[in-house]
Structure 1
Amino acid sequence: MNFNYPKKLLVFFIGVPFFVFSQTNHGFSFDNYNGIYGSTANPANSAQSKHRWHINGLSYNLLGTSDYGTINFIDSPDTPNGFNSSDFSTNVETSNNNNFLVSNSDVLLPSVLYQINEKHTIGLLLRSRAFSDYSNFNGRLWKNLSQGFEDETLENTFNIPKFNNTSQSWKEIGLNYGIVLVNSNYHFIKVGGTAKYLIGNGAVELRGDINGSYNDGVSDDLIINSGTVSYLNTFSANPNNLNETSPFIKSAFDFTKNGSGFGGDVGFVYEWRPRETNRVGVRNNSSAVNTYKLKISASILDIGAIKYEEIDNSKVRLENFNITSPTSLSKNTLNNEGFIATLKNTTEINSSPQQGKATFALPRSLNIGLDYIIFNDKNYYVNLNYVKALTTVDDKYTNTRLNLITVTPRYETQKFSAYLPITYENNTGVYFGAGFRYGPITIGSAALNSLFTNGKLNHIYFGLNLPLLEDVFR
């Protein structure tokens, strides 16, 4: 990408639909047989999870949305950053000064969940995660900066008052613990938490405001009339290292440490178990059967931050640019050196770099769920899930989640489950999805209609695992 962003960073979140589950595995999050996957949405789900052991092989989840371009799921090694992974050819007419693009991926690496007894459960979770969000950017300008200016004569003006991009990738080593606090005839309560050691692969933030004009022809200059730009990169102090790319699988297992920190998730689950659904008898194993009429859950996810202190034995560098008068930037230079390098090498632009430490917070969120069995003993459920971002695009050095409301009817048994999620996102509208679980395989999407209509929201998940369930009868 010609901003001189680290391309190997953004290869994480424009992935291949082969492998994870995370907070966006719509429909599957509240399957009572989701095992270790459920603990990523609510760490309390691990207690009495219906599994004696649950071993994850490799799982993958990708959620992306944009009003300018469509996000590519397939060609991860060939599309190493957010803009190069977007197809702009059919979306030029949607360009404005408030375009947005959000993408996040979550790879659950080999992990395990073990139920010690009906009250206590522990788990070890290894995850590779990446987030990136772009807000208030001019789609046509950013397309030209990232993919090169085309030989056209169309005149463009831009006035971007508050643009922001934050991208970060990290690894998590998480220790999960879930415990049952109350298990009476009618009421059941369990709580849980996951303590995480965070390994920061790297992070980038670009924000500011600029206005100017340009023609699409390659021979003219880009004119910036005024503006401010700040840029912080914790990947590498050497710009020549920023063009490296990594295949998707290699990136998922890349534990390169440029920063570190601690974090965690906390959650609780309450179940109302009236007599008509509480089917536990003398010979039944309560850890293996569903006994509730209504389940209420809540969790706070991604508490914590990653601190970056040095890059290539140098302090983290924050670049600040202040443009006070019309300044010409050569398009050839922009194409060859990138946006940030061109700003640094333009003498008319005031630059005030700073060195020090940088702390990037995780994209904190609130996850609330209601699960209701429609027909007693018939295995038909309906679930309402609400994901609320607890960070915003105005917060420095962090990402923000999409605010999502999902209603999911599902059919669920020990061996097989099917889901039909209906998702609403305030920027993109309503989407319909489908998914299923059968034995060791789970696959689905919350936005199947986008696969056929080039919708703004894209989502897919896939998982391979080894579930060792509790016996229903003792």
Structure 2
Amino acid sequence: MKNILLISVLILASTGNSFSQDYLGLSSGNYGGIQSVMLQPANVADSRYQFEVNLVSTSLSFHNNYVGLSRSFFTQNFFSFKGYDNFSDFKAKELRKDDYLRENVFVKANNRINFPSLLLTTGKNSGIALNIQSRTGISIENLNPLLAEQAYDEWGNASLYGQNYITDGLDINGLNWIEIGFTYGKVLLNNERHFLKAGVTAKYLGGVSSFYFNSDDLNVRADNDSMLYIQSPEIRYGHSATNISAGINSSFRPDASAFGFDMGLVYEFRGQIENFKFLKYDSDYNLKVAKRRDRNKYTFKVGVSLLDVGKFNFQSTPEARNFSINDQINLNTINTKNLKDLDAVIADHGTYTSGAKEFSVALPTAFSAQVDVHLYRGFYINGMMYKPVKAFNNNC
């Protein structure tokens, strides 16, 4: 039980809304292809590629405000996990925690796997893309820093024994889903110097698994390295039938289905468009002016997009219900390997208050703005803003 709690905190802490943008750098680059369409659907139109196939790719992001890796792990070990006796040895040598943190801890992890996908330019003014993905996001918000420190020390920090770790507003969420998206983009305006294109992605969403655990009034106290006292008048707790770590069930049917969308606009100012024109013969051997499709022609471009709009309705398992708790737990007698084991611990130490047969989970809806400025020849400067939109999931 100690190791499970520690690993949960550290993996998540090494790993905010709960999700962030994936494929940073690549997704906002000039030649991002399939990856750029996930950030800005309009990029499928007027693409530099006539045809692109992505066989498989993945993006993993994790961040927190409590624990980090030492510089030597990158400069001397070069990201290698070899040469450590065990996890405790790795933690002592390479992990660094913030001993002076006074604000609540947040920990977040995101993973996106792209399966075979394609982008196709369908004409001078349009393009399409098909994208198949598996996505996972896990987040912890408002974790008491003293509780985080005690968990990091594997409940062995004697200086913190007997202290109450008041954790108001603790919020833990996880979601794993698959999505199949079809993107269509079209050029709306091509007036020499002024260029505008738009795109939209329609998505089928398959919710594989989800869980939540949150409380407005949670009190935790460690009396020694094994005895943990937990008190809360109500903890809201629920999860889908499939564990977040187990993958899709044996029937290959998701626990929930829904539809969603992305949409975006891109404006380009082409101040030096004359530099990209050339003469060529048409099919009737008449000479005409054409523009190079293989080059970026903008002086600067600005894009805006609304991403991941959608919501799942999961059926909660009967064993996962809201509960109150006022009890001591001996960590040495508990071994939790999955959510079902956690359900059994709650049943032994808590009192059920209510149970929802269904719960809603919104996708990590976000607004993004992108700016790209051409400096000189092959040099560009790029900036991107990615902000969660709470209005889409306040009621979930």
TM range, smaller chain: 0.7 to 0.9
Q: Which residue of 43, 46, 55 corresponds with 1:45?
A: 43
Distance 2:225 2:13 in 1: 32
Q: Which residue of 337, 341, 345 corresponds with 2:344?
A: 341
Aligned residue type for 2:125: K
Distance 1:200 1:225, change over 3 A: closer
What per-residue deviation string (whole Å, max 9, x for no partner) do you get for residues 184-238 of structure 1? 21111110011000111100100003114223322xx3223444211111134xx
Secondary structure of 1:230's aligned partner: strand
Distance 2:4 2:233 in 1: 20
Q: Which residue of 218, 224, 228 corresponds with 1:216?
A: 224
Shift of 1:94: 5.6
Aligned length: 357
Larger radius of gyration: 2
Distance 1:334 1:92, change over 3 A: farther
Q: Which residue of 203, 215, 222 corresponds with 1:196?
A: 203
Counterpart of 2:25 in structure 1 is 27
Distance 1:68 1:393 in 2: 29
Shift of 1:106: 1.2
Deviates more, 1:221-230 or 1:118-127: 221-230
Distance 1:74 1:339, change over 3 A: farther
Shift of 1:110: 1.0
Which residues of structure 2 form unaligned runs of 5+? 74-78, 82-87, 281-289
The yes-or-no answer on 1:299 pairing with 2:300 is no
Shift of 1:364: 0.5
Distance 1:61 1:224 in 2: 37
Counterpart of 1:257 in structure 2 is 254
Secondary structure of 2:123's aligned partner: coil
Distance 2:207 2:127 in 1: 28
CA contact (8 A) 1:55 1:112 kept: yes
Shift of 1:341: 3.2
Deviates more, 1:60-69 or 1:138-147: 138-147
Distance 2:342 2:3 in 1: 5
Distance 2:357 2:372 in 1: 48
Secondary structure of 1:292's aligned partner: coil
Q: Which residue of 288, 307, 314 corresponds with 1:308?
A: 314
Distance 1:138 1:178, change over 3 A: same
Q: Which has the higher helix share?
A: 2
Counterpart of 2:278 in structure 1 is 281
Distance 1:113 1:295 in 2: 21
Counterpart of 2:368 in structure 1 is 367
Identity %: 25
Aligned residue type for 1:44: A
Counterpart of 2:296 in structure 1 is 290
What per-residue deviation string (whole Å, max 9, x for no partner) do you get for residues 61-80 of structure 1? 122111233489988xxxxx
What per-residue deviation string (whole Å, max 9, x for no partner) do you get for residues 436-474 of structure 1? xxxxxxxxxxxxxxxxxxxxxxxxxxxxxxxxxxxxxxx
The yes-or-no answer on 1:206 pairing with 2:213 is yes
| Structure 2 counterparts to residues 142-161 of structure 1, below 5 A | 149-150=155-156, 154-155=160-161, 156-161=163-168
Aligned residue type for 1:62: L
Distance 2:240 2:52 in 1: 36
Distance 1:109 1:14 in 2: 26
| Structure 2 counterparts to residues 322-361 of structure 1, below 5 A | 322-323=324-325, 327-335=327-335, 340-346=343-349, 349-361=350-362
CA contact (8 A) 1:97 1:159 kept: no
What per-residue deviation string (whole Å, max 9, x for no partner) do you get for residues 336-357 of structure 1? 58655333212xx431232422
Distance 2:207 2:371 in 1: 34
Tell me the TM-score normalised to structure 1 length.
Answer: 0.65
CA contact (8 A) 1:97 1:158 kept: no
Secondary structure of 1:38's aligned partner: helix
Tell me the TM-score normalised to structure 2 length.
Answer: 0.77
Secondary structure of 2:36's aligned partner: helix
CA contact (8 A) 1:2 1:146 kept: no
Shift of 1:273: 1.2
Aligned residue type for 2:192: N
| Structure 2 counterparts to residues 66-145 of structure 1, below 5 A | 66-70=64-68, 90-91=96-97, 93=99, 98-138=104-144, 141=147
CA contact (8 A) 2:309 2:392 kept: no
Q: Which structure exhibits the higher relative contact order, with contacts defined as CA atoms closer than 8 Å and separated by 6 or more residues?
A: 1
Q: CA RMSD in A?
A: 3.8
Aligned residue type for 1:45: N
Distance 1:3 1:379 in 2: 50
Distance 1:321 1:393, change over 3 A: farther
Aligned residue type for 2:225: G
What per-residue deviation string (whole Å, max 9, x for no partner) do you get for residues 309-341 of structure 1? 36xxxx566511224xx5322333444586553
